[in-house]
Amino acid sequence: MSYQVIIPAAGQGKRMGAGKNKLLLELNGMPVLIHTLKVFEDDENCDGIILAIHPQDEDAFHALLKKYRIEKVKNLVPGGKERQDSIYNALKTVESEGIILVHDAARPFIQKNRIRRLTETAEKTGAAIIGVPAKDTMKKVRDNAVVETVERSSLWAVQTPQAFRISILLNAYKKAEEDHFIGTDDSSLVERISYPVSMVEGDYENIKLTTPEDLFFAEAILKNRES
């Protein structure tokens, strides 16, 4: 049941346009980074957090970990150019066997019960991810023209966390490095080594804070949780 988690937090937040790492923005008076870390700090099944950070944020992040008494961060690693590089830097420091989760620092609304279901599935199958069925009609578009309507029932929007047996994720990352392949999530690297990945249904509110309007949704989610 226990797991370790890699949290990539070394982005620039360019699309948020806040002039600093979006993870330092506050929701209810607490930085996004801490909202996310607290979920794992408070999860008894979480054995340790490996945080990938940008050198420019090092002092600020250290101060926050201290202020909010986040004690499970056992390793701070430097981030890389791409999200994938940041995660690989973190993955290389993980020693023991077991289950590793990867969770974006920019998704503060993940809930413990989902983490539990995901981890249980990954323990059985070796690889599991969280996602939600697509709600909108989806079309393939090229040069502003519709190419086709894609069968929606088979489409899911994928989130994090994603959970893997450590050896499987390491193999997937090694192969991606060899092939100079950059994927948009960890599962895509595992899919490339032909390992089957299980899907666990998650929550629509596990949003990633990406652009400024996401902050409005975030405030609404927090308000709803309080009431």
Q: Is 92 in the site for ligand CTP (CB under 6 A)?
A: no
- Between CA 197 and CA 125 the distance in angstroms is 8
Candidates 100-108, 109-117, 143-151, 178-186: pick the segment binding ligand CTP (CB under 6 A).
Answer: 100-108
> Among 174, 177, 195, 173, which residue's Cα sits nearest to residue 185?
173
Q: Is 97 exposed, middle or buried (0-12, 13-18, 19+ CB in 10 A)?
A: exposed
Binding residues among 102-141 for ligand CTP as defined by CB under 6 A: 104-106
The only residue of 83, 102, 168, 186 in contact with ligand CTP, by rule CB under 6 A = 83
Q: Which is nearer to Mg ion, 128 or 189 (CB)?
A: 189
- Between CA 102 and CA 224 the distance in angstroms is 27
- Between CA 6 and CA 118 the distance in angstroms is 15
Q: How many CB atoms lie within 10 A of CB 18?
A: 14
Q: Which is nearer to ligand CTP, 38 or 208 (CB)?
A: 208
Residue at shortest CB range from ligand CTP? 11
The number of residues that bind ligand CTP (CB under 6 A) is 20
Query: DSSP 3-state assignment of 194?
Result: coil
Q: Which is nearer to Mg ion, 11 or 161 (CB)?
A: 11
x-marked contacts with ligand CTP along 208-227 as a string, rule CB under 6 A: x-x-----------------
Binding residues for ligand CTP (CB under 6 A): 8-15, 52, 79-83, 86, 104-106, 208, 210
